[in-house]
Structure 1
Amino acid sequence: MSTQSAAEPVVIRSAQDVGDLVNSGAARGSHAKLIVLLALGGIFLDAYDLTSLAYGITDIKQQFELTSVGAGAVTASISVGAILGAWFGGVLVDRLGRYRVFMADMLFFVVSALGCALAPNAEVLILFRFLMGIGVGMDIPVAMAFLAEFSRLRGKGSKGSRTASWSTAWYVATSGCYVVIMALYFLLPEAQHGLLWRFTVGFGAVPALVILLVRNKYMNESPSWAANQGDLHRAAEILTRSYGVRAVVAEDAEAVRPERDRPGLAEFARLFRSRYRARTFQALTIGLAQTFGYNAVAYGLPVIIASILAQGDLNTISASLVLNLVFAVTGGLLGMRLANAVGAWKLTFGGFAVQLAALVVLALVGRPEGTAYVLFAIFALGAFMFAQAAGPGAHFMSFASLSYPTTMRGTGLGFNQGTLRVGSTLALFFFPVLSSALASGVFWVIAVAPLMGLVALLAKRWEPVGHDADALEAEWQQAKAAV
């Protein structure tokens, strides 16, 4: 690749040249930054839709006369859809491209949000929550692929910091969800508070519609994906449009299309080849540990505060908002800022350690008596969420996305997300049952999750931040060809 002067075009001879150009940070187009923001907008929708029923589940139980098992089915249905959406969506992200899948899951968000808001019974609500989950499952692999592939390798705006930024977007969304709930709490007459959950869920269609409206002007395919499909000319066009780089393809350029396994289990088998096996298992274990703890605590916040901490409706909404906005968003920002300097491994390890300590404290405190003990318990919840956002919550995505080259990234993310959603489904389904049966003893069960994460990190000290998976894959392929 040559860049003889600022006025001369960038000459592309291979997919690695495209990756090197993006990784170096030499290309910094405004459209590329907007694509990153739109990808984060997709993650915002994921978190908003997953959180939107956290407060309203009590009203849903009353309106539809549900048992604890029925309520668990409503909350868990979105995760069941997310499992399928992630597994199949991840493969489609690699086969069809990032742009097409991103647009498809935005449509899922619009239709499912409106369907949930208008659901006449629990069965219809479960159906549309399931469809919403498919959109969520599809979105995570494609959004993380955009964040990784429109970012430089190191420095400001690096892959490590931007893949970690998903955590901040997530907690801004959950905070925004509670802001919407609080606004509706004061706007609606008290007799209509049972409808809060419908308005909250339906509002999730608005940002998805906004993204769909601006997609044609700003959104574009990943140049690295296009180049790795053998279409260097399309990659050059994307670089010109999104980065403002005058990119041209050399006449002697060699475009090599990726080897494709037949659709099915063979797609996922690539993740378990010798050079990726250990990373795949570690990323999955870290993901399972953080998602089980997060789903039990963060999505269970209203239940924890209202039942275990015995607080009323307004205190429950206010405390949930403060915990997300003050502790979680702050933690997410810190995790993003420290990604390059500290690395994902250390931040994730420290986060799991603080989570374990916070859960032990909550289990020992039990059901607090008196304002001081209630505030102490809420502070422990805040410590858990701060550590989650700064550590495993931010950086388990770095392990899942930066461990693989462009040609495998969607599949790797989809497999990771789909499989760990099994853990979140179990957490969402069983948490209402366990919290009713065990009260504060449920925190001992949740504490197993960060402990499992610590063990996985100690088993392999692998640092994904600053790692160029595409360059290493190219070296392996060249060595294979030479043999």
Structure 2
Amino acid sequence: MFRWYRETGPAERRTFWACLGGWSLDALDVQMFSLAIPALIATFGLSRSDAGLIGAVTLVAAAFGGWIGGFLSDRLGRVRALQITVLWFAVSTFLAAFAQSFTQLLALKLLQGIGFGAEWAAGAVLMAEAIRPEHRGKALGAVQGGWAIGWGAAVLLSTLAFSCLEPEVAWRALFACGLAPALFILYLRRSVPEPARPRTAAAVPAHAGPLAIFSPGLRRATVIGALLGLGAHGGFHALFTWLPTYLSAERGTSVLGTGLYLAIIIASFGLGCLVAGGLVDRLGRRRTVALFAGGCMALVVLYLLVPIDGTVLLLLGAPLGFCAAGIPASLAALFSELFPSGLRGTGMGFCYNAGRLASAALPLGVGLLSEICGLGPAIGLFALAAYGLVLLAVGLLPDARSGGALLPQTPR
């Protein structure tokens, strides 16, 4: 599974570890929110709809942040853009620890979302250009697995904080830990080289702006990519924004019990990213995404819409986390091959994060619908709709084992 790593050079390896670290720390900061929802509801007297609104605002901000971050990586350079975005989301997460009202928390989560979306765009395009094409899918899948590392770290910190501190203090301590990623910038500055731009980058005018990805030669790729991003993010956020609350409020699990359920899902998520990366290079982007989307739909039905006992719920967490990983782990390799180098950051940032913009309604929708039909059915219905959209978008994509352009590489 890791033979490809031994075939890479020193610069490729340093870039890999930098992007893996950045994405893991990004996940650490972002996943803290879903784990702190019950405490935030108690501290500020929020409804589930209010909590869903915070999640929605974060995703909307991430959508714009990703587009901006991708554009900056095309203009300022991949490594420099990554440094800026890591610092942004670290500081904004830290400041959220001192929020004194719902409005303040909402504003700070908006700022965090901008950095969150921008970091993925800068890091993904850096990896796509630094790693040789035959290993691109495996490397990007492994980097996406860093989400499981950060997610797991967030669960561990959350379990520790809420076991040792009062809830109204614990969530603040948790958010304060979000400043740690700022130290990561030192490694980026010293160890990671800026990838050389290929000559094809000259085909894109230097003055091309963020809207150049909607030019006639690239418009279809951009729209299909955005639909795919919508389904991928919609399914993930509908499921995992509310899952800790579902386990504790609907299934009655304790703090330690919820941590165990999530640990199984997270470990399986990391494995799913690694396997998906290998399948992307073997089966092609389209088949891999469709395979995982179909698995997600079947497991959502079993996990949330069919009455099962706690033991079966625990066992199903492994395949659920595994399948949920496969779609996002495949997107970076797919999107990187739809756009020319001079617009690659902008295109990847838009497609991946445009999905967040539309999917921002899903956490809010789950919160609203849960007050009518219960949290489990609300999560399940929204997740099924999102993964169904993934299958639809995948049907519009070409099947390629090593990528390739969906449309001409040079915008007209």
Q: Settle same-fold status: TM greater than 0.5.
A: yes
Describe the shift of the 1:61–1:381 C-alpha distance in structure 2 as closer, same or farther (beyond 3 A).
same
User: Is residue 2:23 matched to residue 1:38?
Assistant: no
Specify which of 117, 136, 145 is matched with residue 168 of structure 1. Answer: 145
Gaps of 5+ in 1: 1-24, 230-255
Distance, in Å, in 1 between the alignment partners of 2:178 and 2:17 is: 17
Q: Deviations along 1:249-289, whole A, 9 cap, x unmatched?
A: xxxxxxx5731455353x2323xx24x34433332222211
Distance, in Å, in 2 between the alignment partners of 1:451 and 1:114 is: 36
C-alpha RMSD of the superposition: 2.6
Contact map agreement 2:78 2:122 (CA 8 A) in 1 = yes
Report the residue type matching 1:386 in the other structure. Answer: F
Report the residue type matching 1:359 in the other structure. Answer: V
Distance, in Å, in 1 between the alignment partners of 2:304 and 2:182 is: 43
Describe the shift of the 1:303–1:90 C-alpha distance in structure 2 as closer, same or farther (beyond 3 A).
same
Distance, in Å, in 1 between the alignment partners of 2:144 and 2:366 is: 23
Q: Deviations along 1:59-95, whole A, 9 cap, x unmatched?
A: 1111112223322222223212212211222222212
| Higher Rg | 1
Report the residue type matching 1:337 in the other structure. Answer: G
Helix, strand or coil at the partner of 2:124: helix
Percent identical pairs in the alignment equals 22
Contact map agreement 1:280 1:400 (CA 8 A) in 2 = no
Partner of 1:13: none
Distance, in Å, in 1 between the alignment partners of 2:377 and 2:54 is: 24
Specify which of 204, 210, 213 is matched with residue 268 of structure 1. Answer: 213
1:394 CA drift (Å): 1.0
Superposed, 1:416-427 pairs within 5 Å as: 416-427=351-362
Specify which of 205, 208, 218 is matched with residue 191 of structure 2. Answer: 218
Describe the shift of the 1:404–1:322 C-alpha distance in structure 2 as closer, same or farther (beyond 3 A).
same
Distance, in Å, in 1 between the alignment partners of 2:305 and 2:359 is: 25
Partner of 2:222: 280
Q: Which has the higher helix share?
A: 2
Partner of 1:433: 368
Distance, in Å, in 2 between the alignment partners of 1:376 and 1:466 is: 38
Distance, in Å, in 2 between the alignment partners of 1:446 and 1:28 is: 38
Contact map agreement 1:363 1:444 (CA 8 A) in 2 = no
Contact map agreement 2:32 2:174 (CA 8 A) in 1 = yes
Partner of 2:291: 350
* Higher RCO (CA 8 Å, separation ≥ 6 residues): 2
Contact map agreement 1:141 1:410 (CA 8 A) in 2 = yes
Report the residue type matching 1:105 in the other structure. Answer: T
Contact map agreement 2:61 2:111 (CA 8 A) in 1 = yes
Contact map agreement 2:69 2:81 (CA 8 A) in 1 = yes
Specify which of 350, 360, 370 is matched with residue 301 of structure 2. Answer: 360
Segment of structure 1 superposing worse, 79-88 or 141-150: 79-88
Partner of 1:379: 315
User: Is residue 2:240 matched to residue 1:304?
Assistant: no
Distance, in Å, in 2 between the alignment partners of 1:202 and 1:305 is: 25
Segment of structure 1 superposing worse, 430-439 or 119-128: 430-439
Distance, in Å, in 2 between the alignment partners of 1:49 and 1:205 is: 9
Partner of 1:319: 261
Distance, in Å, in 1 between the alignment partners of 2:321 and 2:203 is: 44
Q: Deviations along 1:20-74, whole A, 9 cap, x unmatched?
A: xxxxx99954233112211222211222222111121111111112223322222
Contact map agreement 1:298 1:385 (CA 8 A) in 2 = no
Helix, strand or coil at the partner of 1:54: helix
Helix, strand or coil at the partner of 2:365: helix
Distance, in Å, in 2 between the alignment partners of 1:182 and 1:435 is: 25
Contact map agreement 2:152 2:266 (CA 8 A) in 1 = yes
TM-score, length-normalised on structure 2?
0.90
Specify which of 44, 48, 72 is matched with residue 92 of structure 1. Answer: 72
User: Is residue 2:204 matched to residue 1:258?
Assistant: yes
Report the residue type matching 2:46 in the other structure. Answer: L
Report the residue type matching 2:363 in the other structure. Answer: L
Distance, in Å, in 2 between the alignment partners of 1:66 and 1:352 is: 33
Report the residue type matching 2:204 in the other structure. Answer: P
Helix, strand or coil at the partner of 2:402: coil
Helix, strand or coil at the partner of 1:459: coil
TM-score, length-normalised on structure 1?
0.77
Report the residue type matching 1:116 in the other structure. Answer: A
Contact map agreement 1:284 1:416 (CA 8 A) in 2 = yes
1:109 CA drift (Å): 2.2
Superposed, 1:15-164 pairs within 5 Å as: 28-154=8-134, 158-164=135-141
Report the residue type matching 1:64 in the other structure. Answer: F
Contact map agreement 1:286 1:392 (CA 8 A) in 2 = no
Distance, in Å, in 1 between the alignment partners of 2:316 and 2:362 is: 20
Say how many residue pairs are matched.
405
Describe the shift of the 1:30–1:264 C-alpha distance in structure 2 as closer, same or farther (beyond 3 A).
closer
Partner of 1:403: 338
Report the residue type matching 2:109 in the other structure. Answer: R
Report the residue type matching 1:50 in the other structure. Answer: V
